[in-house]
């Protein structure tokens, strides 16, 4: 009988211990689950906060190259900071959010949203009508000079359209202006000098492949002489600058980088997504594909050259540019040259912005902003003429984020890495 009682006591003790262990495990499980849930909530909230930093810059004016503390009106253990700068023709926003040790970073390229009218053409009023010739077609809203639009004739070719504008028309009372801060940034690009003590240089002789996150310091490829990019792969936060010329070969793979040189030559069959800034000439050869958000920029006031070669962006047949083509600078009354020339079988998907003369013979799916059109044909010069050109704003996706204009709504062109 005593043995039975002792055995029962041991059994009861064992059961009590097991129950205690189970209860302890259950309490620990609840605690761990609670901590995990709290941490998960913090992570989710951090994601929301880092997006809030980007959205704050989108909807509020802020200084360039300045860190902004985003007001939260909440607990002190939360913080959001955003830093705005420029990357080529786009704003770059870097947002950092923290909650109790959880930190998340995001970087985005910022451009302008399309306006509700999705305008196809903005032509500055220089007291001249726009003249349509051949199979020219403008689909979308067109902002035209007071003298309007009419048909014309070039070398015996007249206008074959059923109507002049396939969409609404309005007076071009004012020419859209690019954001002033961005203009200042562009005009200082070719004057910028590198500090040899702080600049992080890339040596292409040691390695042909370089990837640099936009969260890392900027990396440079720099030369006083010509730079030829051949059999290289360059991605991310990298600038390539030459004091004379940059040549991009078809064997080069360029993604999100910025090129700067007086002359930039993009050879046939190049495929990539990059921004190029020149002060003399940009030549895009045949069968080139530049993906969104690529940009080609010529920044030069017009000066009559003694030679036949003048400052210009040239896009040859069968090439496609998805993004923006921009010619900045003052024109003049004796300017009979084209500062942007787009050949008949070339396609631009995005925007063409020209403060001087635009010779458009190809296709633009998006918007054209022009000071003046020009056509050179059979030894003659035709002012404000469009010849076999197609402009269609309906074909451009609403997600497209383009040139930063004054007082325009902003949106995310691309999330960076």
Tell me, what DSSP letter sits at residue 159?
B
pLDDT, tens digit, for every residue of 144-189?
999 999 999 999 999 999 999 999 999 999 999 999 999 999 988 8
Interatomic CA distance for residues 66 and 180, integer angstroms? 17
| Local confidence band at 199 (pLDDT 50, 70, 90 cut-offs) | confident
Interatomic CA distance for residues 264 and 301, integer angstroms? 18
Average pLDDT over residues 259-267: 98
pLDDT at 260 over 60: yes
Q: Are 107 and 133 in contact (CB under 8 A)?
A: no
pLDDT, tens digit, for every residue of 373-390?
999 999 999 999 999 999
Distances (CA, A) of 10 to 2, 5, 95: 12, 9, 63
pLDDT, tens digit, for every residue of 248-257?
999 999 999 9
* pLDDT at res. 195: 59
pLDDT, tens digit, for every residue of 315-367?
999 999 999 999 999 998 889 999 999 999 999 999 999 999 999 999 999 99
Interatomic CA distance for residues 102 and 139, integer angstroms? 50
Distance of alpha carbon 23 from its chain centroid, rounded? 59
pLDDT at 228 over 90: yes
Burial-class residue 270 by CB neighbours within 10 Å (0-12, 13-18, 19+). Answer: buried
* Strand (E) or helix (H) holding 165: strand 165-166
Q: Which one has a higher pLDDT value, 33 or 302?
A: 302
In the chain, where the domains are located:
2-112, 119-190+262-410
Q: What's the Rg (C-alpha) of the chain?
A: 29
Coil, strand or helix at 381: strand
Lowest mean pLDDT among 39-48, 111-120, 212-221: 39-48
Interatomic CA distance for residues 113 and 180, integer angstroms? 17
* pLDDT at res. 336: 93
Structure tokens, 48: 């929301």
Lowest mean pLDDT among 70-84, 154-168, 291-305, 358-372: 70-84
pLDDT at 304 over 80: no
Q: What percent of the chain has pLDDT over 90?
A: 76
Average pLDDT over residues 239-247: 98
Categorise residue 156: left if φ over 0, alpha if ψ from -120 to 50, beta otherwise: left
Whole-model pTM?
0.89
pLDDT at 115 over 90: no
Interatomic CA distance for residues 170 and 146, integer angstroms? 9
Interatomic CA distance for residues 111 and 48, integer angstroms? 21
| Local confidence band at 45 (pLDDT 50, 70, 90 cut-offs) | confident
* pLDDT at res. 76: 80
| Local confidence band at 4 (pLDDT 50, 70, 90 cut-offs) | low
Interatomic CA distance for residues 25 and 348, integer angstroms? 65
pLDDT at 26 over 50: yes
* pLDDT at res. 1: 46
């Amino acid at each position: 009988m005593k043995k039975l009682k002792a055995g029962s006591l041991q059994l009861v003790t064992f059961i009590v211990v097991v129950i205690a262990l189970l209860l302890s495990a259950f309490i620990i499980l609840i605690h761990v689950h609670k901590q995990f849930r709290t941490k998960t909530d913090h992570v989710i909230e951090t994601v929301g906060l880092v997006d809030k930093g980007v959205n704050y810059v989108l909807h509020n004016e802020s200084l360039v190259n300045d860190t902004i503390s985003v007001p939260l009106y909440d607990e002190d253990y939360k913080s959001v900071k955003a830093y705005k700068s420029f990357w080529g023709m786009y704003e770059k926003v870097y947002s950092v959010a923290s909650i109790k040790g959880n930190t998340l970073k995001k970087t985005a390229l910022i451009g302008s949203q399309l306006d509700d009218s999705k305008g196809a053409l903005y032509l500055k009023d220089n007291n001249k009508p726009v003249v349509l010739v051949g199979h020219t077609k403008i689909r979308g809203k067109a902002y035209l000079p007071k003298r309007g639009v009419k048909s014309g004739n070039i070398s015996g070719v007249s206008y074959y359209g059923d109507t002049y504008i396939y969409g609404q028309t309005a007076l071009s009372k004012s020419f859209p202006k690019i954001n002033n801060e961005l203009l200042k940034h562009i005009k200082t690009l070719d004057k910028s000098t590198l500090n040899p003590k702080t600049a992080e240089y890339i040596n292409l002789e040691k390695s042909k492949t370089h990837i640099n996150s936009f969260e890392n310091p900027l990396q440079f490829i720099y030369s006083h002489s010509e730079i030829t990019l051949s059999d290289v792969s360059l991605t991310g936060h990298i600038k390539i600058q030459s004091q004379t010329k940059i040549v991009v070969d078809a064997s080069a793979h360029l993604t999100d980088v910025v090129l700067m040189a007086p002359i930039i030559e993009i050879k046939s069959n190049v495929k990539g997504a990059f921004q190029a800034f020149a002060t003399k000439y940009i030549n895009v050869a045949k069968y080139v594909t530049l993906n969104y958000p690529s940009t080609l920029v010529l920044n030069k006031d017009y000066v009559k050259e003694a030679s036949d070669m003048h400052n210009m962006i040239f896009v040859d047949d069968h090439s496609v540019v998805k993004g923006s083509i921009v010619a900045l600078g003052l024109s003049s009354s004796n300017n009979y040259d084209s500062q942007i020339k787009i050949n008949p079988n070339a396609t631009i998907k995005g925007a063409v912005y020209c403060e001087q003369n635009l010779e458009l013979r190809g296709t633009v799916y998006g918007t054209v902003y022009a000071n003046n059109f020009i056509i050179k044909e059979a030894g003659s010069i035709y002012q404000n003429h469009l010849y076999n050109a197609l402009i269609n704003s309906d074909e451009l996706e609403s997600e497209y984020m383009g040139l930063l204009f004054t007082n325009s709504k902003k949106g995310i062109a691309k999330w960076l890495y």
